Each structure stands twice: as structure tokens, then as C-alpha cells.
Structure 1
Amino acid sequence: MQYRGDAQLKRIIRAYDYPIFIAVVLLCLFGLVMVYSSSMITAVARYGQSMDFFLQKQRTSMIIGFIAMLMTMIFPYKAYANKKFLMTMMLGIAGLLGLLGIVGHTAGNATSWFQLGSRNLQPAEFAKLAMIIYLSAIYGKRQDRINNIDKAVIPPIVFLVIITALIVFQPDVGTAVVVLGISGAIILSSGMSLKSLSKLIGILLVAFAVIALGAVVTGQASELVSKERVSRFTGLAEPFSEENAKDAGYQLANSLLAIGSGGVTGVGLGDSVQKYGYLAESHTDFIMAIIAEELGIFGVIFVLGLLGFIVLRGFMLSAKCPDPYGSLLLIGISSMIGIQVVINIGGVTGLLPITGITLPFISYGGSSLLLLMLSMGVMQNVIMRMNLLEEKQKKESKISA
């Protein structure tokens, strides 16, 4: 009995995807180094803390994140598809997002966090994984009713609209865009017919039109299209112009200066100039600019190469997964990382407006890192069970032959 148990444990351990695991570990460790390098001046000058203030907090978040990842690696992903669990999860996330308006902590003109002692919790981060699990379960488990308007189209869209609206009104448009992008990727991959997709899009357009009207009536629209938010678009066009360089285009101009200064080999780890108060969010939204400045194109390629590897491998494995629910989970998690990378790099390089989306595994942020590690654990659990099933089928085919 002991031998059987040991053999089964070894099979399970071998079934995990170690290339993805190694890529995640490398990104987290590299991110820890870059958080320290990019935040040491900010910690002292702006917050009056020691130089390693953000390093210590990120290290703690990373340890908690790895523990969370190991737990979700072990926990069977199919249990998340339980109807009671799904409803509790979605109602809980919606409740937390709604509660922010009452007891939330405001920073950067957005009420997106709960203040928990010395740490902040951002519910919108966990709304991403909640939507991935919910939509994957609904569309994966209802393949026979995928085009049923009452069962597979309306209920998921109700939650999608509610969650997105609550995030937009924080306001956090960037995260809302990520949630919509993830949801779109899952729905497009679900096998739904074009007719049902067109109905779904129509329902969404009507819903968001109603939300927009409500925003105008309640006065929220003025906050969503405030001068500061509009300036992100005006600064995008000409960040170095005399009018924008000191205001709307200030962050982007300094980001581009950092990238240009780095060149091919960089100015050296720890030797960034832009982190000396020029680039305000050097350890969060604009950490890639510091990587480019200090480590040059090689540092950028290292980060983007590992992130791209995780995303592409996730998509490739989703195509092999025989379980529609598991396949959609892989697509959703891979899409989440890919969309965040595109939005973050787009903002840093001036290809997209600055939205406050962090770079996965690299940027400082406890909620973001915990969410990513939980997601990686779910991904590993899907892959592990897929590999075990494939191994079992191979053995059975050999025996029958």
C-alpha cells in the first residue's frame, strides 16, 4: 500500500509543468531585484522609510504567493465548478467591490483598496480570476447548452456587467478593460455560435449604454472623463511638447528617456537616473522603463521572453486539454497575463494610454502577485490532471494492444 501511494505521488509530481514553474520562479526573483533597484530612492525620499522597504514587503508577498500557488496546485480545479461555490464566489467579489465605496481606501484618485494594517487589498485583482473560473465553468460544463440564451448567455453576462461596472466606478478603467478582455477570450473560445455571439454583444452594448446613462445622471461621468484622464490621451500624442512635458506627458516622457538611455546594454543595475524622483511609479506601472534603462534590451528580452513563453505555452496546452472547462481555464489565465503585458508595455512605450496596469510578476504589488500565483496554481492543477489522464490512456492502449 505504501509503495502504491509513493508511486502515485511521484506520478503526480512528474505531471506538473516544470518549464512554466521555472519561468514563474525566475520572473518573481528577477522582479524582487528590480523592485528593490527601482524603489530604493522612492522609499527614502517619498515615504521616509529604509531603502529596502518595498523589497521587504514584496518578498513577504512573494512567499505568501508561493504558498497560495502550492495550495491551488494540489486542490482539484473541478471543485471550483460547483454551483454553490461559483455563486458564493461571484456574490462575494461583487459585495467586496461594492463595499469599497463605503470603507475603501482612496489613492491616486481611485477607491480601489481596503486598508488592512500596513497592507492594502485590491478586490478588483481577484475579480479577474473569479471571472475566469466562473465563465470557464459555465461555458465548459454547458457545452450541450452553449447557445441557450437563458442558460449560457444571460446569467454570465449579468455578472460580467455588474463586476465591470463596479470596477469602472472606482474608477479603475484599466482593470475593467482587462476583465472584459479576459471574458472576451473565454467566450470566443467557448464554441458559441456566431448567432449567439451577436446576441451577446448586443446585450452587452445595451447594458453598458444603460450604465453610461446612469453615470451621467449620478454625476460619475465627470469623474470618468476628468481632465486628468483625458490628459492621458493628449499626453500620449506629444509627450515632449512644451505644453505636455511638465504635465500630461510627464510620466511618458520620462519613461521614454529611461528606455532611450538604456540602449542595448543598459547603464548598469542600480544606476538608473529616472528613479530619482523623475518617474513617479518607477517600481509599479513603469518598472519596465527602469529595467530598460539599467539592463538595456537584454533585460527587456529576458522579461518579455519568459512572459511570452508562459502565455504561449498556456494556449498550446489548452488546445491539448480534453476537458472544455480545463481548456477554458488555461485560455483565461494565459489571456489575463498576455493582456496585462500588452497594456503595461503599451503604456510605458507610448503606444497605449497609461492605465495603471502592472507588469505581471515583476511590478510591486501584493494583491497583483497573490492573484497571479493563485492563477498559476490553478493552471498547474489543470495541466497535471491532463497529463495524468494522458498517461493513463497510453497505458490502457498498450494493454489493449
Structure 2
Amino acid sequence: MLKKILKSYDYSLIIAIVLLSLFGLVMVYSASMASAVQRYGVESDYFYQKQKLYLIVSALIFIFIALFPYKIMKSTKFLLPMVGFSIIGLLGLFLFGQVRGNAQSWYDFGFISIQPAEFVKISIIIYLSAVYAKKQAYINKFNHGVLPPLAYLVIVLGLIAFQPDFGTALIIGLIAGTIIISSGMNIKTITKLVMLGMILLSPVILVLQDEIFSEKRLERFEVLNNPFKDELDSGFHLANSYIAIGSGGVNGLGLGKSVQKLGYLPESHTDFIMAVIAEELGVWGVSFVILTLGYIVLRGIYLGLRCKDPFGSLLAIGISSMIGIQSFINLAGVSGVMPLTGVPLPFVSYGGSSLLQLAIAAGILVNVSMFVKYENKYKHKHPEKTSNHQEGNVYQFRT
């Protein structure tokens, strides 16, 4: 049995995740060398050493989650504590949270800083996937099948918006939207849900309009047209990102030889790490990151489509959408397609919370892939033992 299970893991997916994480570790070292000394007054390998520690811990978590049967997570005994801890964690920020980037969204424990909203992304994926998988038989009954699970989502989005961290709230909303669309609801039900969402969102926008439409946030849109018009102030980050990307060309300047990381890109090892990759490794480095991320996302969606269990299917699609959405927002911000939001590049950017959260997500995705492959092999060899199980599955689930 153990031998069959080990053979069933999707090793191509595991290799892609490992390669991207190790590549990110190297680039964090290269991108943070100068800023560690100049801006933070620490050793040049300070962020590298911390990221290496995060990566080791993340690897252990990844292995544990990958061996942990994902179906256990849909039980009420798992879901209720997860939801409770998520809400308590977000509420506690208003009393004990540290302000970073104009948002009170971090707990500082000295040796590590934790952003609860990162882990809420996973809890939203697990919760909505579990509840909507259970409600497949009446998924289009609006008051009974659709609305109840969204109470948790509304509470979470409200708490994050009032930090205020609209970027993370947007990402969680998009992830939830992907799961909802993939849950099997018909167009009529989804249309009702969108209209209700717009109605509920209107008073929130009215209350937070000064924060949402602040002068600083509006500048982020204005600077997209021409960051060089005010390159020493509002356009500073984007202008230097353009210079870094343009300087790299096809082959790049060489690993460790970026000029823009020498104080011109203040967040060179986090938000703008792709700009450093482009400058040092050129088109080849950028292509490696985008293709590897693309493979992970598409592989996850493929697994979700193949999975016969609605819970596993929604988990795979939700996790894939999270990685894809965060990747797109980061790359779009660095390249000036959309305003900067401070979203890290998955598996590549520096950050403990992000890496630990991604380790959990990747472990779940790999575990789902293992069950998909194992069950398909088992059913193929022993169809008579699984016929009853197949009849009991909810096959009206459609993506």
C-alpha cells in the first residue's frame, strides 16, 4: 500500500515547486545583499539566512501536509477551529498588530513576523471548498445552498479591509469568486450573488472612501501612464523597475550584478524581485519563473478537473487560482500593467508568512494529486470494488 501511494505522487509538480523555491532563495540573496547593509544595517546575508530558515521549516510543513489525507479537512472538527482561529487572529491585529505599509496587518514576534491574512487565504479555500462540496445536491438553492458559507467570507473581508489592506482583500475575494464559479452553481445563481455583492459592497465603499480613494492610492494609477514624469517621487519604484527590466535584455547582466538593487529598488527582495531577476538573468530568468509558475497553476487546474471528489477538485482549483492571481498581480505591478499592491511573487519573494502559507497550499495540492492518481489506478485495476463508491459520488459537480 505504501509503495503504491509513493508511486502515485505527482513528482513533476513537486520538482517544479522545489526548483522555484530554491531559485527564489538564490535571488533573495542576490537582491537583498545591498539593501541589507545600506537600508537595514545588518549583514549582507541577513535576509538570505532568514529565508533559508523559512524554507527549511516550509519544507517540513510541506512534507507533513503532503502525507496528510486532505479529506480529513472537510470535517466539522477541523473547519470550526480553523474558522475561529482565523477570525481571532484578524481581530487581535486591532489590539496587538504592527503597522507596515500603512496597514495594521502584522504580528511581530521578534524572530518572525506573521501576517494572518496570508493564512486566511488557505482557510477560505478549505472552508468554501468543503461547504460547497457538501451542498452539491442543492447548490442552486440561494438561501440554503449559497448564502450561509459566505458569512465567513464577508467577516474576513471586512476585517482585512478595515486594517486597511485592500490588496489582500481583493485577492481573497478573487479566490473565493473562482471557487464559487467552479462549485457547480448555474449562471442565474451566480448573477444573483454578484448583484447581492454589489449591494453589500456599496456602503463599505462609502464608509472607507477616504482610504480607498486616498491621494496616495490615486497616484498609483496616475503614475502608470508615465512613471518618468515624477521619477524621484511617485514614479520612483516603477521607473527603476523599468530600467532594471530594460537593462537585462536577453541574457542579463549576470547573477549578482544588478545596479538597480543598490538603493533604487527599496523592496528589491520582495515586491520587485522579478525586476532584479530580469536585470541579472534577462529573458531566460524571467521565462524560467513564469513558465514554472504557469506549470504549477495549470497542473493544479488539470488535477482539479480530473478529481472526482468535489472537495478535492475545489481545493485544487482554489489553490491554483491563488498562486495564479498572486503571480499575475505581482508581475503586473512590476511591469506597470496595474498599480503596485505589495503582493509577493509566490515561492520567489522573501517572506516567512508567504512561504509558510504556500508550503501548506502546495502540500494540499500535492496530496490531492496523489489521491487522484492513486484512485484512478486502483479503480482501473479493481473496478468491482469501487462501483458502489462511484454511485455514491456527487457527479453533477461541474467545473
- Counterpart of 1:79 (choices 72, 82, 85) is 72
Give the conservation status (yes or no) of the 8 Å contact 1:105–1:113.
yes
2-structure distance, mates of 1:10, 1:353: 49
The one-character-per-residue Cα deviations of 1:351-372 (angstroms, maximum 9, x if unpaired) are 0110001100000000000001
| Conservation of the 8 A alpha-carbon contact between 2:244 and 2:279 | yes
Q: Secondary structure at the match of 1:113?
A: strand
Q: Which amino acid aligns with 1:311?
A: V
Which amino acid in the other structure matches residue 336 of structure 2? G
Counterpart of 2:18, as a letter, is V
Letter in 2 for 1:294: E
Q: In the alignment, is the contact (CA less than 8 A) between 1:161 and 1:208 conserved in 2?
A: no
Q: Aligned match of 2:251 in 238, 261, 265?
A: 265
1:167 match: 160
- Per-residue deviation at 1:230? 1.5
| Structure 1 residue matching 2:337: 3-state secondary structure | coil
| Partner of residue 309 from structure 1, selected from 295, 316, 326 | 295
- Give the superposition deviation at 1:399: 9.8
SS at match of 2:262: coil
Q: Which amino acid aligns with 2:287?
A: I
Give the aligned residue type for 1:114: Y
Deviation per CA, 1:293-347, whole angstroms, max 9, x where unpaired?
0000000001111000000111111111111110010000000011011100000
The two structures have a TM-score, normalised by structure 2, of: 0.94
2:357 corresponds, among 371, 396, 399, to: 371
| Partner residue in 1 for 2:216 | 228
Which residue of structure 1 aligns with residue 390 of structure 2? none
CA deviations over 1:226-279 (Å, ceiling 9, x no partner): 2222211111111011xx211111100000000000000001100000001001
Segments of 4+ moved more than 6 angstroms: none
Partner of 2:173: 180
1:295 to 277, 281, 294: 281
Q: CA deviation at 1:398?
A: 9.1
Report the residue type matching 2:152 in the other structure: F
1:2-401 equivalent positions in 2, closer than 5 A: 8-215=1-208, 221-241=209-229, 244-397=230-383
- What residue is the counterpart of 1:5 in the other structure? none
Quickly say closer, same or farther: Cα 1:227–1:368, change in 2 above 3 A.
Answer: same
CA contact (8 A) 1:69 1:374 kept: yes
* 8 Å CA contact retained: 1:138, 1:152: no
Distance in 2, matches of 1:399 and 1:339, equals 40
**Secondary structure of 1:114 counterpart:** strand
- Counterpart AA for 1:318: G
CA distance in 1, matches of 2:207, 2:222: 26
| TM-score, with structure 1 as normaliser | 0.94
Mapped to 2, the partners of 1:12 and 1:399 lie a distance apart of 18
Indicate the percent of aligned positions where both proteins have the same amino acid.
51
Cα distance in 2 between the residues matched to 1:285 and 1:254: 13
Whole-Å separation in 1 of the counterparts to 2:28 and 2:162: 30
Question: Partner of 1:218 in structure 2?
Answer: none
Alpha-carbon distance in structure 2 between the residues aligned to 1:371 and 1:63: 13
Q: Tell me the secondary structure at the aligned position of residue 49 of structure 1.
A: coil
CA contact (8 A) 2:129 2:179 kept: yes
Quote how far apart the aligned CAs of 1:18 are: 0.4
* CA distance in structure 2 between the partners assigned to 1:118 and 1:276 by the alignment: 26
Ranges in structure 1 where 5+ consecutive residues have no aligned partner: 1-7, 216-220
> Over aligned residues, Cα RMSD in angstroms?
1.4
Once structures 1 and 2 are overlaid, which stretch shifts more, 155-164 or 286-295? 155-164
Is the CA contact (8 Å cut-off) linking 2:125 and 2:176 kept in structure 1? yes
Q: Could you say if the C-alpha distance between residues 398 and 143 of structure 1 is closer, same or farther in structure 2, counting changes exceeding 3 Å? A: closer
| Whole-Å separation in 2 of the counterparts to 1:254 and 1:382 | 41
The range that moved more, 69-78 or 147-156, is 147-156
CA contact (8 A) 2:303 2:372 kept: no
Deviates most, 351-360 or 204-213: 204-213
Q: Does the 8 Å contact 1:157/1:204 carry over to 2?
A: no
Q: Which runs of 5+ in 2 are unaligned?
A: 387-399
